[in-house]
Structure 1
Amino acid sequence: MKKLMFALVTLLLAPLAQAAPEFREGVEYTVVSEVPSSKPEVTEFFSYVCPHCYSFEPLMDNLAERLPDAEINKVPVSFLGRELGPVLQRAYGAAVLLKVEDKLTPVMFDRIHRQKKMPGSIEEVKDVFVANGVDGKEFDGVINSFALNGMIAKYDRLTEQFNVRGTPTVIVRGKYELNMGEIGSEDRFYRVVEYLLAAD
């Protein structure tokens, strides 16, 4: 009789087990805002000086290819790299304004982490830009511009809003923060992001 009851309970619970979500709040992700954005977006907070961000860059590139309809954003933080943190944050914003971010970001990562050539000032950042095809006068025109200062303020505001204290930090739809240490593999990273993009 006990075996029969156990079998019946197992059968009754089976549909519930199958309906269990693949990923769980508090494990693979954390809810950091009550209201998600209305658009499919993934935001990575990063720093050029962060070795984990350097290693993570190919995953973000692949994510953009896998999710062509999603908006992939990068937010440079200023709290890493000591006095160079704000300089490198400004360098990223300048690359965006000059429409060379796709070209300059791999260059900056490579110089810092593979070549061990850390730019020591905004002048050295300019040299990197110029060496990679950016007109020096165009760089000068944006590096302290009103538009770039506004972008820096937005970067800092978002960093504070999501209480970002380490990088890379990935936020999906402005509501879910990935718990990178719990995801475990590249494939699971993609699947968690896709799951959260479709979540309520």
Structure 2
Amino acid sequence: MRILTMLLGCVFSFAVWAQGPSVERYTQGVHYELLDKPVKTITPGKIEVTEAFAYSCGHCYNFEPLILSWEKKLADDVELVKLPVIWRNSMQPLARIMYTGKALNKYKEVNARVFTALHKERKRLGTEDEIAKIFEDVGVSKEDFKKTYNSFSVNTQVKQAQARTHSMKITGTPQMIVDGRYSVAATREMGHEGMLEVVDFLVEKIRAEKASGKS
């Protein structure tokens, strides 16, 4: 009887293995959601992973080292896009920081400095002058900062971020959107590490679809 049980176990294991990618480790509606309406991606030719975040969010502050480490290991066909969420107009100034930093080629330095200022130094960064000081700390003059911070390009990107926040149905931060189709949020059981594991699974799923011509 014991031998028969072992044989049946081996047969079952082989059957699962043989099914390959069709056996999903994660389930829609449990570990991730499918957006009602797909959102157009902005990185042609790549599997786009969007991280919806807010500088003011404590969970995002704790998640930042993890997402930076995860990004370094991405395959060439995957691209991480950072989306500063804007649910209301009062969130625009902090969101504007990211696009200003990118325009001035100071994104990494500014990104780290903003998280530190808000969560370790307990600064508010509620005014343009307070934000300007962040950029001065990384070598950007106040004049260059203000010119870029209020530029047409940054204004446009902020409006697009606000639109994408709503179209991607962002309800909390951090939240991940994969290929403009799948939404993944951390749960108490899954945590941030688990959320990224689900994202990795979805990336593999999309890659397989592309290879088979289904996407």
Counterpart position of 1:137: 143
The alignment partner of 1:198 has SS state of: helix
For 2:139 and 2:48, the matched residues in 1 are separated by: 30
Q: Retained in 1: the 8 A contact 2:48–2:80? A: yes
For 1:56 and 1:7, the matched residues in 2 are separated by: 43
The alignment partner of 1:24 has SS state of: coil
The alignment partner of 1:71 has SS state of: strand
Q: Retained in 2: the 8 A contact 1:77–1:89? A: yes
Cα displacement string for residues 54-109 of structure 1 (whole angstroms, at most 9, x for unaligned residues) = 011011101111105221111112237x83x2111112221111111111111100
Give ranges in structure 2 of 5+ residues lacking alignment.
Answer: 210-215
Counterpart position of 1:47: 54
For 1:128 and 1:153, the matched residues in 2 are separated by: 23
For 1:106 and 1:77, the matched residues in 2 are separated by: 17
Query: Which one of 40, 43, 60 corresponds to residue 67 of structure 2?
Result: 60
Amino acid at match of 1:117: K
Check 1:35–1:133 CA distance in 2 against 1; reply closer, same or farther (3 A cut): closer
For 1:35 and 1:95, the matched residues in 2 are separated by: 25
- Asked if residue 76 in structure 1 is aligned to residue 84 in structure 2, the reply is yes
Counterpart position of 2:28: 25
Counterpart position of 1:154: 160
RMSD: 2.6
Amino acid at match of 2:92: P
Check 1:107–1:78 CA distance in 2 against 1; reply closer, same or farther (3 A cut): same
Q: Retained in 2: the 8 A contact 1:45–1:77? A: yes
Query: Which one of 110, 113, 118 corresponds to residue 119 of structure 2?
Result: 113
Amino acid at match of 1:64: E
TM-score (norm 1): 0.84
After TM superposition, give the deviation of residue 197 of structure 1 in Å. Answer: 1.2
The answer to which structure, 1 or 2, has the higher relative contact order (CA under 8 A, 6+ apart) is 1
Counterpart position of 1:93: 99
Q: Retained in 1: the 8 A contact 2:49–2:176? A: yes
Number of equivalenced pairs: 194
> What percentage of residue pairs aligned between the two structures are identical?
30
Amino acid at match of 2:106: V
For 2:146 and 2:10, the matched residues in 1 are separated by: 70
Amino acid at match of 2:57: C
For 1:145 and 1:118, the matched residues in 2 are separated by: 23
Q: Retained in 1: the 8 A contact 2:53–2:82? A: yes
For 1:34 and 1:179, the matched residues in 2 are separated by: 17
For 2:16 and 2:173, the matched residues in 1 are separated by: 35
Counterpart position of 1:184: 191
